[in-house]
Structure 1
């Protein structure tokens, strides 16, 4: 059932993005006067089709769902070449170079516009996310040594306002990619503001593959360790714990939050722990002996408060569109920088992911909720736009490269060079797909 849910979430995410991409090509081709012969969702053999419109364009579904295409009147292919002279003016290669550039670029641009629209809608609706408030930091951590203190809330990073944990992570991630210092503005738990700068040397030691904030010592703030529910027959009930109890100390050491209490319990299977809890305004001492779970960790069968502080990030219509465009631009630039770093060896090729990982994330975000799922779709739409703009023959970016050279030289690329580049591009694309699937399988197993 979970597999079916994941596959369905993947198809519902990727399918519309492919359709939107191809619609970009289709609409601009029609506006430029080019005749469109077929609009296909999927690649390979056509399994269903219908013809509509004055040009009797064939709208088709093909057997391989990972992709799509728009087939236009094109004299380079005998199958799509004009049948008589009356259609020559509607043939793709006879259009001026700027029209051809517009038709090819329209697909990726459609993906970027869709991402902006989705993000703007989410910002207008309001997205509930964990706040940028910090948990107590280890004294040896980079952030603590830079002057950051637990309980305080980050309000900006390098001048960019921060409202939520995701925005904090995004800004620090950009500093990691750029290998620059991160200047944090913070609001103290008791009021007042201050600044702390994490030096570039420390930022450079983190990697985008892992938990960037965690590597610097920053974690989500969690509430005090208050008991929410005691399950019958567990070690917590035998020790006398009750719903509403606030755990103050374990073995004489203060407990900062629910996560710290859970860690203390897990690390003491079968060993008695001296607790101090606050109940109805009075402090009581209890003796708690965690049971040993199948993994050899301690468990006491109680539910402890650990949900982070939440904030609603929302904007007005104009601000939402501006933020959507800004986030789309920043994500695109970061994607290109990551590709550049992989090429020069500064980032691992393990970051290349394929359909299995995308499907897994689609299923996970769909289970979390509609907002998370739409955020995921917006990110994939941006990735699809960026990847298609890469200067690889057979991709949109490869064709744009040809036409850019035509603009510079005043003449089209020789057919022989174009054919060689196409073959090389297909080979490179298959290599990248093989690497992506290999990385997916390694993550899976």
Structure 2
């Protein structure tokens, strides 16, 4: 997908999510008898404005949010005849309902999006282990490939998405064990030392060494500028031996290559039914740990039969799809809330935090993969937006709900001085959060 396509996918997603969020505030405010002065999508000087039902509906140039401006005596002078229409004159229960309506609208949108996904049919991968990275924590735990995972830390899983979510939670808790349905009843645990070295960032999952993808010991791609091409390897070559040692799995081959940077190796391959011997010298490149490792610039052929055995398709009727969508939204919201809490407590790395650049990149990737992936992406971001807004940080909806809860308990509003200080602290916290997320985005883009 082109940069323009990625930006368009991002703009559509953000536009829909923000519109739904702000419409939640608007709709409940109108139901509560509050006059809404402006409904804005985006920030900054309005580019386009139309007046309807007493409200200015505007489109502004900075597409990272929006707002609903209501009549409020704390901001403008309100005539006595309209005082009953102002936000601040409403009972605290109505004010809480108006504020909470935005995040709740995002959760409702997620339910609708997931409902469309389940209604149209969902394809997922069963939690079968296709390949295991040599010398990885997964290999240290005893995975060899071909296993079927039934539970992670006692939590049942039915798809690879379930496995990833359970693993992230396990990494943050410092414990990771797998119950297998094949071989039946087997339990594999990761040695504590290997687990601690992984960390709690999202990239830890890839470094763990498990993948549903199974590849064959057969070459499907050769980089014309790579060491493999210089050594005579061709697409379709089936690997037989390295330096006389028989190999049957691609992982054995890559391990041998990685351990011999800039060192000649004798390869035996099967080509068109004949055994061919070649000498290749892997390029020496920097590995993740900084040590030198070998690279040939060749890629394997995927085991399509194995992948077909993992794929499952489910298509629900309207009622079952709605129930599944509500369950999915609730589970995802709870997981997001738990992960955010663990970030604040330092139990999960803040490197997991993503900002607008990575969200735009994910938008483009999901749109490229098809409508189902794009709808699921939008549902996930909508839930994240709802959970983030419900955090008790001043300037966010959750901060206002916190103030109104205090007002309910005290019987009087929070002082203007406290509100002013809370505003400053909240803006500073939000600015720091956005800056850190943007830093993470740039670092990911630079490091690839």
Matched residue, 1:373: 374
Matched residue, 2:71: 73
Matched residue, 2:200: 208
In the alignment, the residues of structure 2 paired with residue 409 and residue 199 of structure 1 have an alpha-carbon distance, to the nearest angstrom, of: 51
1:83 aligned to 2:79?
yes
Query: 1:259–1:306: 8 Å Cα contact kept in structure 2?
Result: no
In the alignment, the residues of structure 1 paired with residue 415 and residue 191 of structure 2 have an alpha-carbon distance, to the nearest angstrom, of: 48
1:349-387, Cα deviation, whole Å (9 max, x unpaired): 333332122222222333333332222222211111111
Matched residue, 1:275: 268
Higher mean displacement: 345-354 or 407-416: 345-354
1:218 aligned to 2:210?
yes
Higher mean displacement: 357-366 or 257-266: 257-266
Change (3 A) 1:216 1:270: closer
1:305 aligned to 2:296?
no
In the alignment, the residues of structure 2 paired with residue 230 and residue 185 of structure 1 have an alpha-carbon distance, to the nearest angstrom, of: 36
Change (3 A) 1:186 1:362: same
**Mapping of 1:100-249 within 5 angstroms?**
100-135=95-130, 137=132, 142-144=137-139, 146-188=141-183, 193-198=184-189, 201=192, 203=195, 206-226=198-218, 243=236, 246-249=238-241
In the alignment, the residues of structure 2 paired with residue 252 and residue 429 of structure 1 have an alpha-carbon distance, to the nearest angstrom, of: 60
Query: 1:246–1:279: 8 Å Cα contact kept in structure 2?
Result: no
Name the SS of the counterpart of 2:180 in structure 1. strand
TM-fit CA distance, 1:408 = 1.2
Name the SS of the counterpart of 1:46 in structure 2. coil
In the alignment, the residues of structure 2 paired with residue 392 and residue 240 of structure 1 have an alpha-carbon distance, to the nearest angstrom, of: 59
1:90-134, Cα deviation, whole Å (9 max, x unpaired): 222222211111110011111122223223332343343444221
1:142-191, Cα deviation, whole Å (9 max, x unpaired): 54555544212213334544333222111221222334443423324xxx
**Mapping of 1:308-319 within 5 angstroms?**
309=307, 310-314=310-314, 316-317=316-317, 318-319=319-320
TM-fit CA distance, 1:5 = 2.7
Matched residue, 1:432: 433
Matched residue, 1:400: 401
1:205-232, Cα deviation, whole Å (9 max, x unpaired): 5433144445444233413234558999
The TM-score with structure 2 as length reference comes to 0.82
Change (3 A) 1:219 1:251: farther
TM-fit CA distance, 1:237 = 12
Matched residue, 2:60: 62
Q: Which runs of 5+ in 2 are unaligned?
A: 286-293
The TM-score with structure 1 as length reference comes to 0.82
Higher mean displacement: 396-405 or 232-241: 232-241
Name the SS of the counterpart of 2:387 in structure 1. helix
In the alignment, the residues of structure 1 paired with residue 34 and residue 233 of structure 2 have an alpha-carbon distance, to the nearest angstrom, of: 79
TM-fit CA distance, 1:330 = 3.5
Change (3 A) 1:394 1:210: closer
Name the SS of the counterpart of 1:60 in structure 2. strand
Query: 1:147–1:196: 8 Å Cα contact kept in structure 2?
Result: no
Query: 2:132–2:251: 8 Å Cα contact kept in structure 1?
Result: no
In the alignment, the residues of structure 2 paired with residue 34 and residue 65 of structure 1 have an alpha-carbon distance, to the nearest angstrom, of: 26
Q: Across the two proteins, how many residue pairs are aligned to each other?
A: 431
Query: 1:268–1:290: 8 Å Cα contact kept in structure 2?
Result: no
The Cα RMSD (Å) is 3.6
Name the SS of the counterpart of 1:411 in structure 2. coil
Query: 1:177–1:334: 8 Å Cα contact kept in structure 2?
Result: no
TM-fit CA distance, 1:292 = 6.9
Query: 2:115–2:322: 8 Å Cα contact kept in structure 1?
Result: yes
Change (3 A) 1:99 1:375: same
Matched residue, 2:411: 410
Change (3 A) 1:160 1:316: farther
Name the SS of the counterpart of 1:331 in structure 2. helix
In the alignment, the residues of structure 1 paired with residue 232 and residue 417 of structure 2 have an alpha-carbon distance, to the nearest angstrom, of: 82
TM-fit CA distance, 1:294 = 11
TM-fit CA distance, 1:402 = 0.9
1:21 aligned to 2:13?
no
Query: 1:155–1:163: 8 Å Cα contact kept in structure 2?
Result: yes
Query: 1:176–1:208: 8 Å Cα contact kept in structure 2?
Result: yes
